[in-house]
Structure 1
Amino acid sequence: MPPLVVRALAAARTHGFAHSCRPEQGRLLQVLAGGAKSAIAETGTGCGVGLAWLATGARAGVRLVSVEREPVRARVAAEVEVMVGDWWRIAERAPYDLVVLDGGGVGKIPEDEPADPARLLTPGGRVVIDDFTPAAEDPPRHDGRPDLPRLHWLRHPALRTIEIPLAEDLATLVGTRRWPE
């Protein structure tokens, strides 16, 4: 693993943070970060493990911005720009070539309104939404009902989105913002 990721994992263990980015997801983020030309944003910094994967993949000169609600965790991960606050603060510095929605803006819970990719992304920019289990049916279901958050992103009119299974129990959605017609 890249040294920056190893340091972030050590910080997460020291602070008792158990929800860090898994290596399967991290490698995907690292690859996607390499395609960003100017800016990358992430919600839900945690202790900076996902952010470390993004930083190891990003080209020199690409701006990385992350937002974390918990001030202590934000300070732990502060090797790059980490804003303290709710996820929507990333809009202050939009647009981005890549946005990773991990700590808000996904719409998985009622009080979390989904992010607007047209506002956050450059045309051709990508959004990543993780922490799904691989879908076994169409339409995808969660707890016996249609998986509305997943369907929101898979059918979003501003995006072309695909589900990528990363492990037996882990899938990620990656969407590319359509170009204006």
Structure 2
Amino acid sequence: MGTGFGVGSSWILSAIAPTVQLITVDHSKEVVDITANHLKHPNVEFVCGDWKEVMAKGPFQFIFADAAAAKTMEGELMLQVLANGGMLLMDDFTPEEHFPEEWKVKPDKVREFWLNQKDLVATEIYVTPTSSVILATKMRK
């Protein structure tokens, strides 16, 4: 049985096998309740809280990371719970050519962290002309 978790991941259900468990985490009880009432899927566990509360249920085959802290200061933790061969998807990136002037003079530490991890094969994919995602696979050591 595979396991995955993510925030705002209702669209993922259309593509998962019946044997896969999906864990979705959000800090807002209102969002969790609305999503749980909308989905009503037997393979989904809804957690209200911090994503780190589900770490013990890993390793995960797929992680959709939408929380800013998970992408930034908690990146090492997320790598620990991503299974070898598992995929990580992070959205809400701005392609460099669309950076505002004040961003252009600073390094993009989040993008650099994920695209340069030695245990990941990662790429940035444009999903619109002005937004991108990072898709990464954890390689076996």
Q: TM bucket by the smaller chain?
A: 0.7 to 0.9
Q: Match of 2:80, as an amino acid?
A: R
Distance, in Å, in 2 between the alignment partners of 1:171 and 1:115 is: 22
Q: What's the offset of the Cα at 1:118?
A: 3.9
Alignment of 1:131-150 (within 5 A): 131-136=92-97, 143-144=103-104, 145-150=106-111
Q: Match of 1:134, as an amino acid?
A: P
Q: What's the offset of the Cα at 1:168?
A: 0.7
- 2:74 is aligned to 113
Distance, in Å, in 1 between the alignment partners of 2:24 and 2:120 is: 22
Which has the larger share of strand?
A: 2
Q: What number of residue pairs does the alignment pair up?
A: 131
Q: Which whole-Å deviations, capped at 9, do the CAs of 1:26-48 have from their partners, x for residues lacking one? A: xxxxxxxxxxx611111x34xxx
Question: Which ranges of structure 1 fall in alignment gaps of 5 or more residues?
Answer: 1-36, 46-50
Report the CA distance shift for 1:129/1:177 in structure 2 as closer, same or farther (over 3 A): same
Q: What's the offset of the Cα at 1:52?
A: 1.8
What secondary structure sits across from 1:105 in the alignment?
helix
The higher relative CO (CA closer than 8 Å, separation ≥ 6) is in 2
Q: CA RMSD for the aligned pairs? A: 2.0
Report the CA distance shift for 1:142/1:66 in structure 2 as closer, same or farther (over 3 A): farther
Distance, in Å, in 2 between the alignment partners of 1:164 and 1:53 is: 18
Aligned-pair identity in percent equals 23
Larger mean Cα displacement after TM superposition, 125-134 or 78-87: 78-87
- 1:56 is aligned to 14
Distance, in Å, in 2 between the alignment partners of 1:81 and 1:97 is: 16
